[in-house]
Amino acid sequence: MLTCDGTLYRERVVSLDGGKQDILLYHCVGETRCLRRKDIIDTLYAALPPTTVKFSCELESIELDPLTTKPILRFIDGNTISTKVLTICPYQINVVVIGSDGGKSIVAKFLNLKPTKMFPIFAVRGLTNYPHGHPFGREFTRFKKDGMLVGRLPIDNNMIYWFSAQPYIPKDERIWKNPEVIRRYTMELLSNYPQEIQEMAKNADMNSLSFTHLRYRDPWDLLTGTFFKGTVVVVGDAMHVMGPFLGQGGSAALEDAVVLARNMAQLGLNHAESGSEVIVHRVGKAFDQLVRQRRIRVVRLSLQAYLIGTLLVSSSRLKRILWIMLLFLLFPNQNGHMDYDCGDL
């Protein structure tokens, strides 16, 4: 059980440009929750039988065994897995590779998916704890200033998640890995922001700080891509990494998991013995169904996120007008993506 459901009720957009504050207020549409990734992973992990998950196994490559045509997984530590149990974090199922290894997926490479691309936007993310409680209520607040965006979302009464997104390329490459450098860099970027924002960054939990160059898969590649081969498939960001402008990438990964698990169970694969050709055929069928059921959903999410991201980084007025028109034409209800049910497990 999660300790807090992280539900947010209100959104506030504060524009700080020109030394004044313009404020827009909305009620959250649909269900908006801010959850710690660790809470989701712990909850999923607790639901699995003991010893199901093996940690710290970094995949280096996948190739097909020339004799059996089964996948062989090679790990960074020199280990290989060539039959029966093939594991990629976080799922483990006999004879099957479910690649949920994120935006730089090795499994996607094996499936010959086109390389992902980058938005010219960098994001810093962090968690800040307020031991005596924070004063921000259940509100998602976005601050805009000088082409930068800072977001703040409470997780519970003490903990908040925040991000800053900026179109600058930092010169210091250590920033990718070193939390102290990330904090210093962020403090500099936020030096013109209100005191409460600067303190939020200053008091961030060092272990939570991350620095990311935003990555996406072209929506038209999602329309045509082949996301499985035999008993190897990709889900989550490995399949459809997208800019975080709708805040739907993680939710879409969870939807993939629900749909895949349901399809596999319906085909009797939840208690299947490994190895038999019948099972391999059924696994292929479950993957085929997954891709069919998910394709339009992830194309739409990715396209909407792509258009918003492209709009954010366009400097030409004409192009901005074009992107806005396209967005309204294709997505007249900007929050329509929330009105979606992937069905029960």
Ligand X SMILES: Cc1cc2nc3c(=O)[nH]c(=O)nc-3n(C[C@H](O)[C@H](O)[C@H](O)COP(=O)(O)OP(=O)(O)OC[C@H]3O[C@@H](n4cnc5c(N)ncnc54)[C@H](O)[C@@H]3O)c2cc1C
Residues of this chain that bind ligand X (CB under 6 A): 58-59, 88-89, 100-102, 106, 123, 125, 163, 212, 214, 236-238, 244, 247-251, 253
Residue 123 beta carbon to ligand X: minimum distance, rounded to whole angstroms:
4
Q: What's the closest the beta carbon of residue 136 comes to ligand X, in angstroms? A: 17
Can you tell me which residue has the tokens 């049910």?
341
Q: Which is nearer to ligand X, 40 or 64 (CB)?
A: 40
User: In 3-state terms, what secondary structure has residue 165?
Assistant: strand
- Residue 80's contacts (CB-CB under 8 Å, 6 or more residues apart) are 72, 73, 74
CB closer to ligand X, 125 vs 262: 125
By beta-carbon proximity to ligand X, the closer residue of 97 and 279 is 97
d(CA 238, CA 257): 13
**Nearest approach, Cβ of 41 to ligand X (angstroms)?**
8
Which of 207, 216, 272, 268 lies closest to 242 in space, CA to CA?
216
Cβ-based nearer residue to ligand X, 96 or 272 = 96
Q: With respect to ligand X, which residue has the nearer C-beta, 248 or 263? A: 248
CA distances from 195 to 198, 266, 274, 284 (A): 5, 54, 59, 55
CB of 180 to ligand X, least distance (A): 20
Q: Which is nearer to ligand X, 217 or 282 (CB)?
A: 217
Q: Does residue 47 contact residue 60 with C-beta atoms inside 8 Å?
A: no
- 184: enclosing H helix or E strand: helix 179-189
- Tokens read off for 281: 């055929």
The least CB distance from residue 90 to ligand X, in Å, is 7
Q: Phi and psi dihedrals of 278, rounded to 5?
A: -60, -40
Residue in this structure with the two tokens 């997780």, named with its chain if needed = 155
CB of 278 to ligand X, least distance (A): 29
CB nearer ligand X, residue 260 or residue 279:
260
Cα angle 124-314-316, degrees, rounded to a multiple of 5: 150
- Which CB, 280 or 338, lies closer to ligand X? 338
The encoded tokens of residue 312 equal: 């954010």
Q: How far is CA 99 from CA 77, 87, 103, 111, 302, in A?
A: 19, 9, 11, 10, 19
Closest-by-Cβ residue to ligand X is 236
Contact indicator for 157, 134 with CB cutoff of 8 Å = yes
Smallest separation, CB 227 to ligand X (Å): 13
For residues 201 and 178, the answer to whether their CB atoms sit within 8 Å is no
For residue 56, the minimal CB distance to ligand X (Å) is 9
